[in-house]
Structure 1
Amino acid sequence: MVCIRRSWVLVLVALSMLRVSLLSCEERIAVVIELTGMIDLGKADLVERTLRSAAESGAEAVVLLVDTDGGILDPTRRIVNSIVGSGMLTIGYVPPQGRALSAGAYILLSTKYAAMAPDTIVGACEPRPPDPKVVNAMEKWMESIANARGRNRTALSLMVKENLVMTSEEAAKSGVIDLVASDTHELLKALNITVDRILYIRPDAKSTLLSLVGNPITAWILTVLGGLILLVGLTHPTFIGEGVGLTLILLGIYGLGIVSGGVVPALLALIGVITMLFELKTGHGINALVGVGLACLGLLLLYSGQPLLKPRSSLVAVSLLSFFFAGVVGFYMHKIRQVLLKKEKLLDYKAQLLGKEGEVREDIEPYKTGVVLVEAELWSAKAKRPVTIRSGERVRVVGVEGLTLIVEKVQ
């Protein structure tokens, strides 16, 4: 009995040693997520999926490289919530020559350890426009992040109330961040995190598509452009234009819903497109300009609804896009109207030709067609009665069969 017990003990010891040996052979990985450019839906999706995968695979830490001027509020909240609730060791880091402004500051400061490269900056979190209710709400959110991570609450509050911006050295001295590091390797070493490999995660196809659709300007362009393509498709015998146009409109509406949190900008963009359609009836250009104006107003509302999205540099792009679309819409409305008028004229040619007189250019024989000149155009023609009408004689149109005129000789 004693021998059996000793055997079991030896087996358990051997199994435990085997487990330790296997664990020691596992590769220790630090996952690095690059968050550059505008914080949008694609970035939020990328961070959420990466944090889940890192937790499941047992990664040592997740480093978020933050280099942004701001972004959209809802994706920023999602990123912060996923960081706080992930259970992973999260590290925020502003790389050399980078900056964590507005939405980027919330993300950086919500991580377990916040670090910055020398001569980088963080802050500028005042909402735009600075509505008192929004400012108070964003300030409380920032204070909750400070309390959760043990950061300088006063400094973080001033980033929201007074648009405070701090250098990496100032942020480290005042307790806003934890340390200053020149690169990722120095950062991990300073935090006593040893890894065998650093895995860099970049946006994939899904997150790229979500970023594209969720961009305010892109969503606006998709909606307006989809309406124009749909309009062109209605004048074409195939259904390609309608399919492409409706697809772009749906993507645009989806994007507008993402970035706006409401339906008003989407409705304004669609009303603008509908107003442009009336240009086909009038042709004087006013409806096209009004339609573009309404669509542009919807785009501006998208920015006003995003307190963490800094519109300074984008306003120039918005203005240029507005003028560009005004010109494009006006040009295409004019061309489409010309096509429709020509088509309408062509469809109504029977009524226009009846009773008109013309001249025979090629003899019309009984039961055979000749050629006549009517209304400055050459037409195939045949006689109403089985008679011969010679070239140069005058005829009158008494009927139309397809593209062949039925004529009789003018006495």
Structure 2
Amino acid sequence: MRTYPLLLFRQSGPHRPSTRDGFAARCFRFLRDAAASGFLLVFAALLQHSASFAAAGAARVVVIPVNGAIGPATADFIVRGLAHAAQDHAQLAVIQLDTPGGLDTSMRQIIKAILSSPVPVASYIAPGGARAASAGTYIVYASHIAAMAPGTNLGAATPVQLGLGSAAPQQPGTPLSPPASGEKKAGAPSDAASASTALDAQSTEIRKQVHDAAAYIRGLAQLRGRNQDWAERAVREAVSLSAREALDQHVVDLNARDVPDLLRQLDGRTINTATGDQHLSTTGAPIVSLEPDWRSHFLAVITDPNVALILMMIGMYGLFFEFANPGFVLPGVAGAISLLIGLFALQLLPVNFVGLGLIFLGIAFLIAEAFLPTFGTLGFGGIIAFVIGALMLIDTDVPGYGVPIPLIAALTIFSALFIFAVSSVALRARQRPVVTGSEAMLGSIGIVLDEVVVPSSGEFTNEGWARVRGERWRVMSAQPLAAGREVRVTGRRGLLLTVVPLAGNPSQQGEPS
């Protein structure tokens, strides 16, 4: 006899299933098949959704906007942006450039990240009116794809002069070294002696920088198959090109109105990267624009030379207050944090260490002026050392990385006023009468409590008791003193005071408090 556990009835009659048994079995099979089919449909939908999501993630395009001078914060933002694009398996990273140039160390850090990127990198000078001057030109040449929007320009890649004692910058169009091809320019002196004279007029350091920069950008042009001769002229002669001229001279690969137009023109291209060929399918690809996070903003703030100099001064004065007044804690904590942040920012910048040493020396002289009787000599020397050090601090003329003269003047005036105010307060405090200790008793007025009699022996023979400053003291005098007589303290030996009588009627003078 067959049984169905899920049915709560008993079979009767012969050994054959009833109509009710057949209906229950069919219901059970239907529910089982429906559940299996639903599970398969859900599983297939999940697989399809995962596949489409992965495909969309792989097809995305990452845009990294760069505005302003290229420095440590910009380099960190671009390097992390390229790493983010590689982790997300993006098919293209677009660096949208608008920069007047920047620091050489930051530029080379960005170029290293571009050359080693597994994701194709397109440098796009945009929007209209933007530029990629100096360091931006190197970044464009290093990228897998170079593009410009209408109304933009690039070039002027000559290294800026370093330091205060550098030679004067060359005028645009004046070569800093003889042309590599040996050809003579029309309208220019044709003999080799004039070129040699032009070279001798420049410092060896400047020539080394220009030769190094020219070789660097020429190597990038060879790597990407772009115009090598113009790249070298951009370094040696500081020439520039518009978007149309750059396309005609094969300096850039294409002109595009905006990012969607750029992606439409790049669709179907195959780009060779550090990890092999990458095929682009950019038409309609999702665009993800990265924005600087808190770390980039923090680096951008502290690597401003003005902020770094102010942080360093706050740190020095905070530590000075803590050492001068132990136990305040807050000035020491704030000073230590500010000094460390300022030094961290300075090590990211091209700092002249002689200038940094002069700044520390000037602050030390100003602080010493508050404690030593130098009559302004240390203070004046500290002001001079601080001003010269601040002028020499940043060892570059890159726009946006200089310390302005008004800020130096303001900090100098503030430091001088602050130190001289502290010195005047200390001098006035030194001239005040002593109010505590043994010295405070000298000159105090007291009243004799009982008659001071003359013993038979002793140099100071008259001794007795007097009330001085509200306290009972044993006193001695060179002459007898009557009770109630006012006396002045002239010396102290332990608990014995030496007094002299005051002139006047003691009854007319009140007891001092």
Mapped contact 2:63–2:289 kept (Cα < 8 A): yes
Which of 212, 217, 220 is 1:137 aligned to?
Answer: 212
Which of 360, 374, 380 is 1:270 aligned to?
Answer: 360
Which deviations, in whole Å up to 9, do the C-alpha atoms of 1:60-104 show, x marking residues without a partner?
211112112222221111011101111211111122222212222
Letter in 2 for 1:147: Q
Are positions 1:170 and 2:245 aligned together?
yes
- Range with bigger deviation, 194-203 or 78-87: 194-203
**RMSD of aligned C-alpha atoms?**
3.6
Are positions 1:57 and 2:88 aligned together?
yes
How far did 1:399 drift?
6.2
Which deviations, in whole Å up to 9, do the C-alpha atoms of 1:236-271 show, x marking residues without a partner?
341221222222222222222221267444333322
Q: Report the equivalent of 1:219.
A: 308
Which deviations, in whole Å up to 9, do the C-alpha atoms of 1:102-158 show, x marking residues without a partner?
222222222111222222221222222161111111111111111112221121112
Distance 2:313 2:264 in 1: 51
- The residue correspondences of 1:13-92 to structure 2 (distance < 5 A) are 23-24=54-55, 26=57, 28-92=59-123
Mapped contact 1:384–1:407 kept (Cα < 8 A): no
Distance 1:154 1:46 in 2: 31
Distance 1:368 1:198 in 2: 95
Letter in 2 for 1:134: Q
Q: Report the equivalent of 2:489.
A: 396
Distance 1:147 1:125 in 2: 17
How far did 1:333 drift?
0.5
Distance 1:52 1:26 in 2: 15
Which of 128, 138, 156 is 2:160 aligned to?
Answer: 128
How far did 1:46 drift?
1.5
Are positions 1:101 and 2:101 aligned together?
no
- TM-score, normalization by structure 1: 0.78
Distance 2:77 2:305 in 1: 19
Identity of aligned residues (%): 25
Mapped contact 2:58–2:89 kept (Cα < 8 A): no
Which deviations, in whole Å up to 9, do the C-alpha atoms of 1:14-48 show, x marking residues without a partner?
9xx96966644547321111221221112111111
Letter in 2 for 1:94: I
How far did 1:301 drift?
3.7
- Range with bigger deviation, 320-329 or 332-341: 332-341
Structure of higher CA gyration radius: 2
Q: Report the equivalent of 1:187.
A: 262
Distance 1:352 1:126 in 2: 74
Which deviations, in whole Å up to 9, do the C-alpha atoms of 1:340-373 show, x marking residues without a partner?
335555796557955743568xx99999998xxx
Structure number with the bigger relative contact order (C-alpha 8 A, sep ≥ 6) is: 1
Q: Report the equivalent of 1:373.
A: none
- TM-score, normalization by structure 2: 0.64
Mapped contact 2:58–2:88 kept (Cα < 8 A): no
Are positions 1:201 and 2:294 aligned together?
no
Distance 2:493 2:266 in 1: 90
Q: Report the equivalent of 2:236.
A: 161
For structure 1, the 5+ residue unaligned runs are 1-13, 371-379
Letter in 1 for 2:325: H
Mapped contact 1:114–1:178 kept (Cα < 8 A): yes
Q: Report the equivalent of 1:377.
A: none
Q: Report the equivalent of 1:252.
A: 342
Mapped contact 1:364–1:381 kept (Cα < 8 A): no
Mapped contact 1:226–1:244 kept (Cα < 8 A): yes
| Change in 2 beyond 3 A, CA 1:148/1:345 | farther
**Local SS of the residue matching 1:260:** coil
| Change in 2 beyond 3 A, CA 1:90/1:349 | same
Distance 1:302 1:383 in 2: 65
- The residue correspondences of 1:310-321 to structure 2 (distance < 5 A) are 310-311=398-399, 318-321=404-407
**Local SS of the residue matching 2:70:** coil
Are positions 1:152 and 2:227 aligned together?
yes
Q: Report the equivalent of 2:462.
A: none
How far did 1:328 drift?
0.4
Distance 2:227 2:81 in 1: 29
Letter in 1 for 2:363: V
Of Structure 1 and Structure 2, the greater helix share is in 1
Mapped contact 1:292–1:325 kept (Cα < 8 A): no
**Local SS of the residue matching 2:160:** coil
Letter in 1 for 2:298: L
For structure 2, the 5+ residue unaligned runs are 1-43, 162-168, 170-205, 268-281, 451-464, 476-480, 503-513
Distance 1:331 1:409 in 2: 47
